[in-house]
Structure 1
Amino acid sequence: MNITQVLFWVLTVIAIGSALMVVTARNPVYSVLGLIVTFFAISGHYILMNAQFLAIVNIIVYAGAIMVLFLFVIMLMNLSKSTEALKNKWLQIVGAIAGGCLFLVLVAALKNTEVKKDLVEMGTGNIGLVKELGRELFTTFVIPFEIASILFLSAMVGAVVIGKKE
């Protein structure tokens, strides 16, 4: 076993464990923290597949911005056991039946799929590199890129004008 396989399995165990923590945690703050750890583990997988841009965007956008926003909202809502509504037993039974039906549908959908024996080539190629993405953005897609940047600039100016007091 080489280092990339060891890293793959370590990241996989971290991702699955933290994803289970998201679902099973009783405290919503712990659930959000588990989701942040899951996003970091998935970013590690992206790095192993030589897709650095996806890894950086995943960390900045999802783990850095959206999950921190979720964390602040949950902390501001001040959820606790005393404010939690009592859950009806019938509602829990219906939820368990719905989850079981979803599991059966997934098993039926994946039953006849082929498992390919080809492995992903880790760390080879240059498709996911930031350098290649930049080259494509500034050669092939330079006009749409500049139009999008002008659109963002006008949106920022509009936000400043709207937010400015008289």
Structure 2
Amino acid sequence: MTLACGILVVTSRSPVTSAMFLVLTMIGISGLFVLLNAYFLAAVQILVYAGAVMVLFLFVIMLLNIGEEEERQWNKFALTTGSTGFAGLTCLLLLTIWRADLPTGIGSTTVGSTKNLGNLLFTDGRFLLPFELVSLVLLAAMMGVILLSKKEIK
């Protein structure tokens, strides 16, 4: 489902339809996080990407009033080059997977847990400074939006 919706994002002619297929792609990716037992990452994927970012995309599409794209004319050279490139990349991917020494079992299942994420962000010390810097940047961006959206400053 995720791959099919991703292909439909690129091939759809209407920007709104493309954005809706992108929402379905993001929901499919969150389903993959659920299959990996990373429930927190799945919830964040739905809230942030399928929710907030896609609302922003749709707002910009509606604001710019972008209509449907007209029918494209394909020439033979572009079609041949694209098909050859796609076939070559597919063969390269299959050859790489065939020759790779992939493990048969699953490793640690606590990769996406909130406990490990909290330990990495706050107690380990490696990500504490970047986490605080990102929070300051987000605070500055929020204050900038509030100041720019006001009619007059007293």
TM-score by length of 1: 0.67
The residue correspondences of 1:24-103 to structure 2 (distance < 5 A) are 24-76=11-63, 77-80=65-68, 84-85=69-70, 87-90=72-75, 93-103=76-86
How far did residue 127 of structure 1 move?
1.9
Q: Unmatched 5+ residue regions in structure 2?
A: none
Aligned equivalent of 2:90, options 107, 111, 135: 107
Aligned equivalent of 1:140, options 107, 121, 124: 124
Q: Deviation per CA, 1:94-114, whole angstroms, max 9, x where unpaired?
A: 442232132133034224322
CA distance in 2, matches of 1:138, 1:28: 41
Contact kept, 8 Å, 2:2 with 2:29, in 1: the verdict is yes
How far did residue 50 of structure 1 move?
1.6
How far did residue 78 of structure 1 move?
4.4
CA distance in 1, matches of 2:111, 2:103: 22
Q: Deviation per CA, 1:81-100, whole angstroms, max 9, x where unpaired?
A: xxx4463443xx34422321
TM-score by length of 2: 0.71
**SS in structure 2 of the partner of residue 112 of structure 1:** helix
CA distance in 2, matches of 1:154, 1:29: 31
CA RMSD of aligned residues (A): 2.9
CA distance in 1, matches of 2:141, 2:22: 31
Aligned-residue sequence identity (percent) comes to: 39
CA distance in 2, matches of 1:97, 1:140: 53
Could you say if the C-alpha distance between residues 105 and 136 of structure 1 is closer, same or farther in structure 2, counting changes exceeding 3 Å? same
Equivalent AA in structure 2 for residue 157 of structure 1: M
1:157 aligns with 2:147: no
